[in-house]
Structure 1
Amino acid sequence: MQFQLVWTLAQLLVLCSGARPDNNFDITDLVFGGKLADTIPAAYGDFNSDELFDVFVLRDNFKTVQILFGSDDKPLLQEGPKCEYKKFHITGVVPGDFDGDAYMDVMFTVRREGEKDEQGVYINWGGSEYMNCTKEDEEPLIVMRGQPLALDYDKDFIIDLFGMDAHGERRFWIFKKPQDGHRKPPDAIGMKKAKGGELRVPHSHAIIDLNKDFTADLVLATMGGFEIWHGTEDEEAFVYSHEIPLIVGNYDAHIGQAIFLDVELDGSLLMVVPLCFDAKCRNSTIFVHHGNHFHDLHIDFKDDHNEVWGFVTPEHDNWANQVISLRGGDFNLDGYPDLLATLSKTPGQTQTFLLENVPCEKLACSHMKRTFAIRWKALAPFANGTLMGSFYDFYNDGVLDVILVEKTANGTRPVAFRNSLDYDANFVKVIVLTGLSNRTGPKKRTPLGRKKRTYGTNLPGPRIEYNTTTQDGDPQHGASAQLPQSAYFALHLPYTTFGLGRTPNFVDSLTVGLSNHSRTWTQLIPNSQMIVVPRPIDQTDKWKAQLFVTPSKLILMSVVALGGICLVILLLILILYAKEKREDRIQRSLEAHRFHFDAM
């Protein structure tokens, strides 16, 4: 009985110390506080360098860009600085350091009036806790067709851009650190044309290491397919390698945005492309490029009521349906990346679903070992009317939750879904920063216990891979790219979460590489967060890495829980000790009385 009491109290303390609430999957009020209607997530990043990731959102019918700061307290996303405009129609946001001061800036694109694809590029320059709003009457830094891809062209940790200029020519725009305190417009560098022809708009360009040499390659979406440009250390930066032609067929197809995932958990980042075979998207599928060929995964789009769904037909002027999009993340932490996709079964009726990465048991899968299965009820209670979904870790504990945008009578509103895993799973979370520092900024104590100044921001392009051993003794090898895409609501997280499943073993090795340099760390503890600062870029022995077990305030809460358990045990020991002393005193009194009686 005494042991049961101790155990019950211990369990209560542990449960109270957890960061996640009970089995309520709808945590919209907990996250947004009920105040953030008409809010659309556009990008993610740690703007104020507190190691809690923030959400960059568009509001007021795309006329306001605002930062929602990640927080340990309710609401989990709190309103931060914003820039409001009257004439601008904002189409996209890219957070990053564009002037080398180690503070995150907010680049945004504006659709130019009367132009179909022409965009103006502006930057709200950031500080430690604020951003300076660009004035509407200022000329754009760049005028381009389509939205830009963020990358680090010249390896200086300052973010650059790639895209088409107003004349349709390919350009890199290179940003530099200001001289004498004055910012200059970016330098425009031309790019050799390859046989692929005109770039696609909307596009799915990517900066990602495909040939495993730890140098990011450039993938360009063209009207005829995808051009692969291998990254080099030469002055030219990228050299044309080959073209991947589009899937051939006699159909009126809609080809969506390509994303890149380690679909089969073998360390190879494969191109995943959603596609409609017909104009109304009644016949949809997903292709994966593997072994020099595209393979149809033959996704089953029939729901439990035998009704057929498909991707939402693209509409050029509709932000949510401008292009067919998939978003990847390991939802169940089994090591295999899953997908979020928005589907439709009748015009105007849309819903976002989870597509789980599962073994492929169909002969039609050809050479692929994995496919995706739609989990029709995985995101319940959210049903019809969700326009878009993306992964986000609300509790900073390695488990990916979901932010959804829901259609309402007055427009849209954001909603939040809490991912409640029904089994214990392990993970490793990795963040690669730029490493630029700013000594003038205030020191901060972060939730992970570090006391530091601003130290780096979002960095696109690094390759991260790991090796471990499963419970069955089999080797497991996974890979990912950090921030490979930035345009058209790509919504990539600025970190990588590797699910390890039920494997409690140490991670044998974890390798981070960029710009043809890499470094490996060994014997990492599961359920930990690793922050890597690859600076100087050519001296890997000086790269810094910090490992934090169980991220966020779980460390403190665990200590509190353990201390509480110890206090309860100590209290019980004192009570039992006092009870024992009392019983001893009574027994001695009885024995003394018995001795007295016998003497008489």
Structure 2
Amino acid sequence: MKLRILALLALSSSATALWPFPSKRFKSNGLISAGELGLQGVQGRVVAFGDLNGDQFLDLLVLSEDQRKVDAWIWDHNAFSYIRSTTVASFIAGHIVNVVPADLNYDGRLDVLLMAIGKEGKQLDLSLHLGEGDNTNYSSPRTLPPSGLAQPIILDSDGNMKLNMLGLDPDGAMKLWRNNDDTSGTFTLTPSPLSSRACKLADPHSSAVVDFNGDCLADLFLSCEDQRFQIWTRSPGSQGGYVLAREGKLPKGAGAVSFADMDRDGTLDMIFPVCKSFSSKTGVGLDCSIHIVYNKQIPLCPSAGGISSGGGKSKCRSPGNLCVADDAFGFDFGENAGDAYSIIPLSSILPNHDSLLLTDTSHNPPLPVPLRIGDANLDGYPDVLAVVVGEASVDRVPVLLFSVPGKEGPSMSAANVLDVKPHVQQRFGITGNMTTAATSGTHHRRFFKSAKHGAEALAQITDARGVAFVDLDEDGTLDILVQRNGAQTGSRIAFIQNNFFQDAFFLKAIVLNGACPSGICEKSSGKYKPFGATNPGASFKYTVLDTRGERSAAFGTQLPQTGYQALHTPYAFLGLGRTNNYIETLTAGSTSPQSATTLEGVIPNSKLVLNPNTDGTDWRRELFLRPGEWMWWVLFTLVGATIILFVVVLVLHINEKREDERERKKALHHINFDAL
């Protein structure tokens, strides 16, 4: 009997070892607490994401609580955890306010740019730590010319894929930190590429490098003092330069601005919180609403052919020619904007909450807390991650708001949130009676609903000070990073695994900076792949057919912002929704001499790596497929079906041979009577 039991146990263990399906780490359908994932005891905060060692997994840069030390943490796929790698920098004087991972000396490795409060608290000292070797090793700091307190913007202003910085010098003048392109990471302070009409950057600001006019070339959004903004469009080519295209003013009480294609029409929209009152002591805004200002551009043609007016001007974009500039683009903040300007009171989404955390006062100086945008359910419409505040400004709870189809709902009129002086009316094109300001019913293109069922892991956190989307283990779902102040459990960092069942697809897309056109960098220190060297401001515009055969266009952007610990992933994460087909067309844009490339038939649930050439030749393309959990089931089904068909054919073949043999024997015994 014992021998039988031992034999059964041995057989069971052998079957388990041979079973190809790994056991699921997270089994519940919903948001699941994943803990600190190796960051136990860390008292600082995550300040940046990046692929520090080029293994295509997302690593972390963590700033200590006293803001004087930055550590690199590497993702270990096998351990499903972060492991501390090295200390990037340790400051003796001053405190670090921002960390930017970027390839600034154009060698295909991620470097680390540090911004720290400098001389008498009136300037930012900039230091650059160059990536060395084939791992996360960094050089001693290289000192760059200091800037004003408004953090500089990382961008490629010359169209050569080499990164410069745009910002204010300590005297308040707009300057360009031009990359000397000498592999040593040195910069020279030069005049700004913008005209004298450029505004003075606010501190803090939401400036971004994104495409506004639809040509897939990154333009420039400047967030200015007094809630004003400017949009400078970029002309193609290395000598293109910037032209002031739009300027305006945000509503009073507006928070940090984020950018995403909120209505899935292939254009980039603005989204930001607005609160009627704000406490600089707590960082909490009261009576808040979510504002979405939709970009007005030429729409996508419903069929493959474009429609033209009598003058030959296209009224719509054909799927094969998505990156055509529309110089008439615009954002309408006026009262008569209709559904092009949605103002959604937070209380209409969360009846028990109307307050948002707008700044994190535990950071020195206070850090903006923007609405985080990402497609958590892969339906093609970006969702919102925010921190809501309970009564008495005590509980600070992260919430996930899913984007849902628009509906009739409460909305504050534009007159109620804008300064409607005559010059403002003229600036925004506002017309009509601006004297009344009342809450009215308005149709919203998109609305939001809070994730309730399955979101208990988020709701249990009451000490959040910041949130961000992150794809843990690169499994194709947007998970959540919650930064905490430690008041609840002492923990400062928490990860929430997004384990909702999704019947939709995704695409990750990344444009590299072309430092190694062949896809492999060969340096004196050895060979390595430049997967971490991304191009800020790269754009992706694609068309896809849904299950009903309807075509839609969508837009995604890569690293639009790098200031004030923006916490963007180095790639664009695109939800595709439900589809039975490949991605019809995908156009990627960058600042390289060949500013865009178009692909057809891209496979969903994959990662697309594009590497431009600085000489203007064709881009290098790599597609990495993510093995799905269903892969083995498909293989087994295919093998099983093949075996069944083989057995059926074999049986039929044997039966036919037997029948032929019987007929042959009958013929042998047949008597030919005619012959007799």
TM bucket normalised to smaller: 0.7 to 0.9
**Superposed CA offset, 1:22-60 (max 9, x none):** 33854544x622535213111111111111121122124
- Asked if 1:468 is matched to 2:557, the reply is no
Q: Distance in 2 between matches of 1:564 and 1:469?
A: 28
Measured after TM superposition, the shift of residue 518 of structure 1 is 1.3
The TM-score normalised by the length of structure 2 is 0.73
Quote the offset at 1:543 in angstroms: 0.5
1:501 pairs with one of 577, 590, 597: 577
> By how many angstroms is 1:375 displaced?
3.0
1:323 is matched with which residue: 368, 372, 375? Answer: 368
| C-alpha distance in 1 between matches for 2:195 and 2:448 | 36
Structure 1 residues 337 and 287, CA, compared in 2 at 3 Å: closer, same or farther?
Answer: same
Residue 405 of structure 2, aligned match among 359, 368, 386:
359
Q: The residue matched to 2:22 in structure 1 has which SS? A: helix
Which blocks of at least 5 consecutive residues in structure 1 are unaligned? 1-8, 248-252, 445-451, 574-600
Distance verdict in 2 for CA 1:360–1:302, change over 3 Å: closer
Deviation at 1:104? Answer: 0.9
User: Where does residue 93 of structure 1 map in the other structure?
Assistant: 99
Displacement after TM superposition at 1:258 (Å): 0.8
What's the secondary structure of 1:283's corresponding residue?
strand
| Residue 511 in structure 1 maps to residue 587 in structure 2 | yes
Shift of 1:176: 2.6
Identify the residue that residue 130 of structure 1 maps to in structure 2.
Answer: 136
Counterpart check, 1:369 vs 2:445: yes
| Separation in structure 1 between the aligned mates of residue 562 and residue 42 of structure 2, nearest angstrom | 24
Is the Cα contact below 8 Å between 2:377 and 2:502 reproduced in 1? no
Q: Point out the structure with max Rg over C-alpha.
A: 2
CA gap of 1:210–1:302, structure 2 versus 1, over 3 A, is closer
* Structure 2 equivalent of residue 426 of structure 1: 505
Amino acid corresponding to residue 212 of structure 1 in structure 2: G
Q: Residues 17 and 502 (structure 1 numbering): CA distance in 2 closer, same or farther, change over 3 Å?
A: farther
Which residue number corresponds to residue 493 of structure 2?
Answer: 414
Specify the alignment match of 1:277 in structure 2.
276
Letter paired with 1:275: V
Q: Is the 8 A contact 1:43 1:94 kept in 2?
A: yes
Q: Post-superposition shift, 1:329?
A: 0.8
Match of 1:335 in 2: 380
- Name which of structure 1's ranges 380-389 and 229-238 shifts more when overlaid on structure 2: 229-238
In structure 2, the partner of 1:597 is none
Note the alpha carbon deviations across 1:87-123, whole angstroms, 9 max, x for none: 34111111111112221100011122642x6321111
Distance 1:320 1:500, change over 3 A: farther
Q: CA 1:25/1:74 → structure 2, altered by over 3 Å: closer, same or farther?
A: farther
SS at match of 1:395: helix
1-side partners of 2:400 and 2:112: how far apart?
30
The structural deviation recorded for 1:482 is 0.7
Question: Cα offset for 1:277?
Answer: 1.6
Q: 1 CA distance for matches of 2:407 and 2:533? A: 43
Amino acid at match of 1:98: L
Aligned partner of 2:469 in structure 1 is 391
Distance 1:537 1:336 in 2: 36
- Distance in 1 (alpha carbons) for counterparts of 2:69 and 2:95: 9
d(CA) in 1 for partners of 2:637, 2:67: 49
Describe the shift of the 1:563–1:75 C-alpha distance in structure 2 as closer, same or farther (beyond 3 A): same
Query: What amino acid is aligned across from residue 579 of structure 2 in structure 1?
Result: T
Is the contact between residue 33 and residue 74 of structure 1 (CA under 8 Å) also seen in structure 2? no
Aligned partner of 1:293 among 300, 313, 332: 332
SS in 1 for 2:263: coil
Between the aligned partners of 2:452 and 2:230, the Cα distance in structure 1 is 35
Q: Which residue pairs with 2:421 in the alignment?
A: none
CA distance in 2 between counterparts of 1:319 and 1:475 reads: 48
Separation of aligned partners in 2, 1:161 and 1:228: 17
Distance 1:428 1:319 in 2: 37
- Summarize the Cα distance change of 1:562–1:105 in structure 2 as closer, same or farther, 3 Å threshold: same
What letter matches 1:393 in structure 2? D
CA distance in 2, matches of 1:321, 1:367: 36
Pairwise mapping of residues 184-333 of structure 1 onto structure 2 (< 5 A)?
184-192=186-194, 197-224=199-226, 225-232=228-235, 233=237, 235=239, 237-247=241-251, 253-280=252-279, 281-290=285-294, 291=296, 292-294=331-333, 295-301=341-347, 306-312=351-357, 314=359, 318=363, 322-333=367-378
The 1:97/1:226 distance shift into structure 2, 3 A limit, reads same
Partner AA of 1:110 in structure 2? A
- 1:13 Cα deviation after fit: 4.2
Given that 1:344 and 1:351 are in contact with CA atoms closer than 8 Å, whether structure 2 keeps it comes out as: yes
Q: Among the aligned pairs, what percent are the same residue?
A: 25
CA RMSD of superposed structures (Å): 3.3
Question: 2:42 matched to 1:37?
Answer: yes
Q: Which segments of 5 or more consecutive residues in structure 2 lack a partner in the other structure?
A: 1-14, 280-284, 297-330, 334-340, 412-441, 647-676
Aligned length: 538
1:105-160 CA distances to partner (integer Å, 9 max, x unpaired)? 00011122642x6321111111231333546xx75542322212111122222221
Q: What displacement does 1:316 show?
A: 6.4
Instruction: Say whether the 8 Å CA contact 1:333–1:425 is kept in structure 2.
Output: yes
- The one-letter amino acid paired with 1:299 is P
CA distance, structure 2, for counterparts of residue 220 and residue 105 of structure 1: 25
Letter aligned with residue 78 of structure 1: I
Is 1:167 paired with 2:182? no
